[in-house]
Structure 1
């Protein structure tokens, strides 16, 4: 892997196999899919932005890159994808071996193009606020939004919609008195009805033909009418804050024994219609702040009566969730509208109960939106995430908009599809496979929203019967090119281009070369994403059994052993940790949905499919750091034996961070030793994990929940649930210094013992 690690830092690309088998038959024997996880906005250490348009192949439309074959005498470049010979234009007349343009330098496999003639337009944010919350909660939310508006650049356009029993679209351009347009929450509204009700199109422009989705052009809506509802922050910050100050809870909720009448679906539809009429094709986001489930109109997930409980996983499996299918269909329709317009749906859900994320998920994922879940609008998870969302520079997310992702590959490969935050453009090309995984049947996808952590998982199949060993070197390797055209946060359009090459395995019997290119972390993440996808799309799919079969076949294929002798089994260094990843994946919240709500499961899977490899691995197999007097902070095994009375443990699961104190530490802390000058070492020991946790929370989005607990306390379950149960209540000898776990789950040792037996059997 040392040969490929630099490629990740430069290109943001990681593969399950960095050396691919040269035939379809051998690829099938690899068990783990031939897949790529790519970061479309990855910034190389020495990134360059070229102020001109890229040079494309006239045959396959691929872009000039360092792997092209060059003829400096004839001023010709050969495309590595289709082998078509192209002439350099007049602007490249000075190209030579000593005068290469930046995109041909070997280290510039990732470049960005920013032509100066591209139109610029500021992004738009529409705030959709749920008023069916407690007065105290609404106060916390308003405080956070006032702070958020202050963080936005002055040129950004903002709009405001509030909803409860009714939907109010506020006219920010009329600052004399508060003014809003009201929509009935029980009735679905179309984009045309929204345009007509808001008076966006006057008599002169009603006859104009809609212009379509083109950046900066409006569907017959005059600029003066747009500026009634969408204004730059610099022009409407006072009126926006004034509306928030006067905002009160929904006045129509009368019954304490019933749920509030909340028309979330109509509010989101109104926001989508307003964006589609005013700024089609230009970067825009709908920021929905939800405090409970939709109980009225389209998108409804539960009735108003508390006797009717919210759907569970068991209800969904049995088909006993009466509103689920209709709600999902509504949000699928909404997602298609948003994708066509080029706009994103972001959800900030703050409630002790479910709010309907399982239904809304399709609209969030298809538009590549962001989701945050917390228990209250006063929760540090919510407040910290809002600050990061609207922050700029290193503290922000680097939000980008309206992206189109295209890919090209060598003719011996075909793309099966993508699992991730995108929508297929159904642009089927020569490298599209008939086998579909995720969003397939295309070589182009819409990435409506992008940030610096966004990743997509691409699945490929090898279609060649074999790769001849007498071919020239440039043909004994295969190529990929990923092109992302997007609207930068500054408003300008950019093109991000990454071109990579990898070698074929010519000798089918040489598994050592194949093993040398295996990436354990990427393979674990790809298997997790694929298992989650299958659980949602295939009925009666048993993820645990599927993972077990895959791992057994993988160990049988690549392990070193003598038949029927489990003690002789071993794996190469490049493969040794992979069974441990699968063991933890089987126990994770992505596979085991017991004791999780559908909203929690949807939330976890959205982030798994979107985040970087490092963050996704944390979700599957958390990191554990041990703090003690005898040594500096050091990694510890994710095992119950890591618990000791004189240790502090820091567990990072991405979703939450746990600081766990052993019993001796707890007793010393209660005695107040940390306050005595002679025990400053103990005070430093207590502060160290707190400081490290604060550092992790500062750079993480969404901000993780912080759990500080003591050994044998109720919240210690957050740590114990993630540890390998090597010592349980059934063990012959209990833990001497640590703890035991009361569980019937199998330990990692027993899991590996059974795996060895099955892998080596005849």
Structure 2
């Protein structure tokens, strides 16, 4: 069953209070997650444009009131009457168009071709590859192979462009195959769109093939020279990549290479802005290290200076951060105005500046993948999925627009997710801004099947009458409880906490989450004052406290031992994925495999570790197959190879197959980890022991530490122990009960 439903919409509260006081008392915000191109088999497509209300532009829908005799319909949002056009004059109570059927709450429309589509505009999507050459030969080889494979997967009519960079930026002309032509830009200074146009020779009115410069700013010369169909330039690009070498500029001892990532992206944005503004286009950047040259620099060239950490950012000791972030914010504005997308594939053991580049990806709806190497499966498999056309295709779309219409007393505060505000004011825009706000329309330069936006609402209606605690909602208290979606609520709280950590100075996320949880338990729990033992929660709320417990310990809130790039990466994925995937990021799933039973869910607790079972752990970012001590010993001794022990071989194989199945439907591709309990007791290779311990931490760091070194003597014999000072879920819940029932 699809938890997102036919509409791809989930709400924190499915029954809304009708007053501002009621909404404030709910504690968890009134918010909705929307997947704009959610695919469901029951969604129909109509071959005409929607019928819109002449006042608020809302579409005809099942909630509208229709006067069949007068051939009019009343909009349920603005309550204004609209005349039905002639094509609807045959409708009756027994002959309804699809728009009015109760089970068609979401409909897709096929819009007619636009007559204003500018002449000269490319009719196919553009893919502009930007490749970092400041890497070792092996890494460059992996990257070039991936680009070649990607071009081979694209349809013949897709337009391809190529830019490489190191100390300088090289724009490669693909339309002149007889002789390689390259245009070079200095990497130590910012370059404007006009300068790019002039240097590339795109200011002339006529292209090389004699085609005039198109309407709307489209430059046919650029389309002839720098952006060519894959069928025409695949051989030229393959030859170019075969001859491409690592950056040849010398690197002084004790210094980083001069890598001008910011200028390279600026040139790529400018090239697309001249050649194909407003059309479907993606810049696909493969970055292999930190920018150390020109605008966008995140670290100096000297290796003695470490890359900025969260501690440096908090203390204001990251000298390049604010300037670099401002540069990329400006680049994001330019991309949004052009309607283009930036994808970042960062493959490096170092940080590359994803934290600074976050706005360029977030606001354009781009993709982001971080891996250790261009040869790592996380990069290779994720990169391939962007271009392949199969059942697991990402369903990439371009230049969408989201418009929200609300009834009289509901206003929109803003959106958290991959979109950009179009600054359209109106009566439905709230004064309070959350994320991309101050508007009722948003631009989505790029989106895919998993793109999810979180919309925050404000209820403006007031009720000045004095009402008791549980009557202020003007809806049934039981109805309000029944309409609570605790999974969506946990994800919305995570997204809001992440936003506040980035935008509010000295915001204490743990304290904010604790206070919010105490308030909601105090308001919606059943208890007697000052009696913690009497406390209980409605089943619709019972899992919410443990979701907050795991959220408090997650990488979204705890930045210790995480780099700014890793934190930015995890938050970008949290904000763009659907509720089901985001919930797994917050509270991972655990499945146990043993001889005694079929695979079954296990508690996310250290007590679930046993020597005779295998655990499959899924945190979205990584999938871990964890073998218990006995299972690992038997595997090492080769028991699975004995014909009479096929049951053991199947037990080893089943979690591996399930892990592959989970990974196959994910983007980015998760890290697959296989490790053993107490690895150091099984192996004498210390480097392997260290690797096993490093891999096991993906699981151990997420488990509830019900058994730690503080209470190991109280636990059952054989229970595993986690060395941590973190409070367990049981202790957390005891404190929550005590605080929630205080009068």
TM-score category by the smaller chain?
Answer: over 0.9
- Preserved CA contact (<8 Å) 2:254 2:304: no
Offset of 1:145 from its aligned partner? 1.0
Using the alignment, how far apart are the partners of 2:366 and 2:551 within structure 1?
25
Q: TM-score, normalised by structure 1?
A: 0.92
The alpha-carbon distance between structure 1 residues 138 and 757, as it changes in their structure 2 partners (threshold 3 A), is same
User: 1:497 is matched with which residue?
Assistant: none
Pick one of 599, 611, 626 that aligns with 2:565.
Answer: 599
The alpha-carbon distance between structure 1 residues 362 and 6, as it changes in their structure 2 partners (threshold 3 A), is closer
Counterpart check, 1:107 vs 2:113: no
Using the alignment, how far apart are the partners of 2:307 and 2:502 within structure 1?
19
Counterpart check, 1:709 vs 2:679: no
- Preserved CA contact (<8 Å) 1:293 1:301: yes
Q: Cα RMSD (Å) of the superposition? A: 1.8
- Preserved CA contact (<8 Å) 1:505 1:514: no
Counterpart check, 1:387 vs 2:384: yes
More deviation, 401-410/596-605: 401-410
Offset of 1:243 from its aligned partner? 0.8
Q: How does 1:162-241 map to 2 (within 5 A)?
A: 162-202=164-204, 217-219=215-217, 221=219, 223-241=220-238
Using the alignment, how far apart are the partners of 2:139 and 2:718 within structure 1?
45
Using the alignment, how far apart are the partners of 1:268 and 1:621 within structure 2?
36
Using the alignment, how far apart are the partners of 1:621 and 1:756 within structure 2?
21
Note the alpha carbon deviations across 1:353-384, whole angstroms, 9 max, x for none: 10000100111101111100000011000011
Counterpart check, 1:127 vs 2:129: yes
User: 2:612 is matched with which residue?
Assistant: 646
Using the alignment, how far apart are the partners of 1:224 and 1:20 within structure 2?
56
Counterpart check, 1:754 vs 2:720: no
- Preserved CA contact (<8 Å) 1:283 1:401: yes
Q: How does 1:556-705 map to 2 (within 5 A)?
A: 556-705=522-671
Offset of 1:508 from its aligned partner? 3.5
Using the alignment, how far apart are the partners of 2:292 and 2:471 within structure 1?
57
Offset of 1:217 from its aligned partner? 4.3
Counterpart check, 1:730 vs 2:710: yes
Q: How does 1:447-526 map to 2 (within 5 A)?
A: 447-466=444-463, 508=474, 510-526=476-492
User: 1:740 is matched with which residue?
Assistant: 721
Counterpart check, 1:75 vs 2:41: no
User: 1:11 is matched with which residue?
Assistant: 7
Counterpart check, 1:292 vs 2:289: yes
- Preserved CA contact (<8 Å) 1:218 1:279: no
Using the alignment, how far apart are the partners of 2:380 and 2:222 within structure 1?
34
Using the alignment, how far apart are the partners of 1:354 and 1:8 within structure 2?
35
Offset of 1:125 from its aligned partner? 0.7
User: 1:88 is matched with which residue?
Assistant: 84
Using the alignment, how far apart are the partners of 2:205 and 2:149 within structure 1?
39
| SS in structure 2 at match of 1:77 | strand
| SS in structure 2 at match of 1:568 | strand
Counterpart check, 1:317 vs 2:294: no
- Preserved CA contact (<8 Å) 1:50 1:115: no
More deviation, 706-715/729-738: 729-738
Using the alignment, how far apart are the partners of 1:372 and 1:111 within structure 2?
33
Note the alpha carbon deviations across 1:701-748, whole angstroms, 9 max, x for none: 000001111102312222110000001111133442331011110000
- Preserved CA contact (<8 Å) 2:345 2:369: yes
User: 1:278 is matched with which residue?
Assistant: 275
User: 1:484 is matched with which residue?
Assistant: none
| SS in structure 2 at match of 1:408 | coil
More deviation, 66-75/281-290: 66-75
- Preserved CA contact (<8 Å) 2:206 2:221: no
More deviation, 118-127/340-349: 118-127
- Preserved CA contact (<8 Å) 1:68 1:78: yes
- Preserved CA contact (<8 Å) 2:218 2:277: no
| SS in structure 2 at match of 1:394 | coil
Using the alignment, how far apart are the partners of 1:739 and 1:225 within structure 2?
64
Stretches of structure 1 lacking an aligned partner (at least 5 in a row)? 469-503
User: 2:687 is matched with which residue?
Assistant: none
Counterpart check, 1:718 vs 2:698: yes
Using the alignment, how far apart are the partners of 1:453 and 1:77 within structure 2?
34
Aligned length: 714
User: 2:156 is matched with which residue?
Assistant: 154
- Preserved CA contact (<8 Å) 1:734 1:740: no
The alpha-carbon distance between structure 1 residues 758 and 361, as it changes in their structure 2 partners (threshold 3 A), is same
- Preserved CA contact (<8 Å) 2:154 2:230: yes
Note the alpha carbon deviations across 1:644-690, whole angstroms, 9 max, x for none: 00010010000001110110001111111000001000000000110
Offset of 1:466 from its aligned partner? 4.6
Using the alignment, how far apart are the partners of 1:257 and 1:649 within structure 2?
45
- Preserved CA contact (<8 Å) 1:564 1:757: yes
- Preserved CA contact (<8 Å) 2:37 2:449: yes
| SS in structure 1 at match of 2:223 | helix
- Preserved CA contact (<8 Å) 1:423 1:447: yes
